[in-house]
Amino acid sequence: MTLIISIIPKENSVINAQTLEDRLPAPHTNLFGVESWRYAVWGHDVIHNLGCSMLASLKTTNIYAFDEELDRLRTELEIVQMQRQYIAAQLGLYEQQTTAILERVKNALAMLHIVDSEQYSVGIAIE
């Protein structure tokens, strides 16, 4: 199984979320990592200790972010980007693994960029 990033409509929204997702530019995809990353990466103490509690919650649940939670998610993803070397050292990752995590973070940030124009109608799910 893999973790997937998707755009989800708010209740009573008539917007087609798939149409928005189709705007995702290459080389980005809707992938956020393999299922085991819930524990090994996102649920690891290092992520929580960096203040990324929303990402760390993937250890036990999915993320559904709307409104101001979108800004919080973006901030946490940017922290992971900036702290990637520290995270890699704490997790004992090779450069290739670190690059894979960074690519998934970039996927999420690209999806958030699409949502910015429609944030009153949609949110983001990571499942």
Separation of alpha carbons 99 and 31, rounded Å: 14
Give tens-digit pLDDT for 3-51. Answer: 999 999 999 888 999 999 999 999 999 999 999 999 999 999 999 999 9
Separation of alpha carbons 49 and 113, rounded Å: 26
* Under 8 Å between Cβ of 122 and 10: yes
- How many separate domains does the chain show? 1
Give tens-digit pLDDT for 37-90. Answer: 999 999 999 999 999 999 999 999 999 999 999 999 999 999 999 999 999 999
Separation of alpha carbons 82 and 24, rounded Å: 23
**Structural domain that includes position 50:** 2-126
Please say if the pLDDT value at position 119 is more than 90. no
* CA gyration radius, the chain: 14
